């Protein structure tokens, strides 16, 4: 495994298998009375979040704490960054304190890569702009693997706001590595520019018609409509989006009761996913959250525990 986790493309099939095996063991810790493992004792992990996040940040924080690392959260808002300090100065300051890993979320695509070139500590990309979010892809694939057994040859359908989705980008890369057959579905306005060539390189299909794709799906991943990244004009009304691309009660019936449904959260209930689908027995939304802690423990462990782990 590489020193940093910046992109889902950094991971080989073997890396993923190792991470998942470890994650499964870490998962058991959640059910223990003493939720503490000593593996990262004396290591320091900084969660540096320049964008809002509840589940990712708390999930990394819990993961670090359960492995006995000292975990410190720094939010972009209210930090020196809001006083006009450059990203480089902020990061170099933190690195000078002697940290072992920086978990970073930033609004600019490529920010994590940039930071990894400045500092010595391991950098984990927890979302950079509309680029990537590799640990989300890992926990999605982990959750689906536990449900489906293997993803090899399985048809995974990703639906939603692809243009703004780093979850989509990391997911197609990882799912391709794991041998899944992937179709991504979005309205033409939310299909990223250049997807034609990229989809050929990575190996996934694109579609504008959800109803055509849904009957052959082995798993469905609904993506959030990211209103905060939209300046408007991507679709006429919310209602129209729901009719064309929402996982409605009717589409839930087409899926049947056995096809797992994922959503990275936070959900816009009634927009991209109906409450019936979000709360259905086949919905893995909460499994994803619980897997998130285990997968992030596994990532922190493999990046930091061994002799290559930064001390």
Tell the smallest beta-carbon distance from residue 62 to other proteins (Å).
16
For other proteins, the closer CB: 122 or 225: 122
Q: Which residue number, 193 or 311, has a Cβ lying nearer to other proteins?
A: 311
CA dist 278 → 46, 51, 201, 249, 306 (Å): 33, 25, 33, 10, 40
Q: CA-CA distance, 307 to 311, in Å (whole number)?
A: 8
Q: Which of the 8 DSSP states describes residue 106?
A: E
Other C-beta atoms within 10 Å of 33: how many? Answer: 5
CB of 5 to other proteins, least distance (A): 13
* Residue 181 φ/ψ, nearest 5 degrees: -95, 120
Q: Which is nearer to other proteins, 1 or 119 (CB)?
A: 1
Minimum separation from the CB atom of position 103 to other proteins (A): 17
Indicate the residue among 235 and 301 with the shorter CB distance to other proteins: 301
CB of 195 to other proteins, least distance (A): 36
DSSP state of 259: S
Least CB distance from residue 178 to other proteins, whole Å? Answer: 18
- Residue whose pair of structure tokens reads 């209602």 in the numeric block: 239
Query: Smallest gap, in angstroms, from Cβ of residue 21 to other proteins?
Result: 5
Q: Which residues contact residue 64 at a Cβ distance below 8 angstroms, ignoring those fewer than 6 apart?
A: 40, 45, 47, 70, 71, 300
Neighbours of 238 (CB within 10 A): 15
Alpha carbon 125 to chain centroid, angstroms: 10
Return the number of the residue (131 or 302) whose C-beta is nearest other proteins: 302
Angle at 24 between CA 62 and CA 155, to 5 degrees: 110
Minimal distance, residue 304 CB to other proteins, in Å:
8
Element (H, E) at 291: helix 285-304
Residues of this chain that interact with other proteins (CB under 8 A) are: 18, 21-22, 25-26, 28, 32-34, 36-39, 301-309, 311
Looking at the Cβ atoms of 21 and 82, the one nearer to other proteins is: 21
The tokens for 184 are 């991504």
* C-beta closer to other proteins: residue 41 or 249: 41
Which helix H or strand E contains 172, and what residues bound it?
helix 166-177
């Amino acid at each position: 495994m590489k020193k940093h986790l910046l992109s889902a493309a950094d991971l080989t099939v073997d890396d993923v298998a190792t991470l998942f095996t470890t994650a499964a063991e870490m998962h058991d810790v959640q059910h223990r009375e003493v939720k503490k493992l000593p593996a990262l004792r004396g290591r320091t992990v900084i969660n540096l979040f320049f964008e809002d996040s509840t589940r990712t940040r708390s999930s990394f924080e819990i993961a670090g704490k359960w492995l006995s690392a000292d975990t410190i959260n720094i939010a972009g808002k209210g930090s020196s960054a809001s006083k006009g300090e450059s990203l480089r100065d902020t990061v170099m300051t933190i690195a000078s304190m002697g940290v072992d890993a920086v978990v970073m979320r930033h609004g600019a695509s490529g920010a994590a890569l940039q930071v990894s070139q400045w500092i010595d500590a391991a950098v984990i990309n927890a979302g950079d702009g509309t680029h990537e979010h590799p640990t989300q892809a890992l926990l999605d694939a982990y959750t689906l693997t536990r449900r489906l057994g293997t993803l090899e040859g399985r048809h995974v359908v990703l639906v939603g706001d692809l243009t703004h989705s780093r979850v989509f980008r990391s997911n197609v890369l990882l799912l391709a590595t794991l041998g899944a057959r992937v179709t991504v579905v979005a309205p033409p306005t939310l299909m990223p520019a250049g997807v034609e060539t990229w989809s050929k390189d990575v190996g996934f299909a694109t579609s504008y018609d959800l109803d055509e794709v849904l009957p052959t799906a082995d798993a469905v991943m609904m993506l959030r409509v990211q209103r905060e990244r939209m300046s408007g004009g991507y679709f006429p009304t919310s209602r129209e989006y729901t009719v064309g691309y929402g996982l409605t009660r009717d589409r839930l019936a087409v899926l049947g009761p056995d096809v797992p449904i994922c959503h990275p959260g936070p959900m816009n209930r009634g927009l991209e996913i109906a409450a019936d689908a979000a709360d259905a027995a086949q919905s893995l939304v909460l499994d994803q959250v619980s897997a998130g802690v285990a997968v992030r423990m596994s990532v922190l462990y493999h990046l930091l525990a061994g002799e290559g782990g930064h001390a």
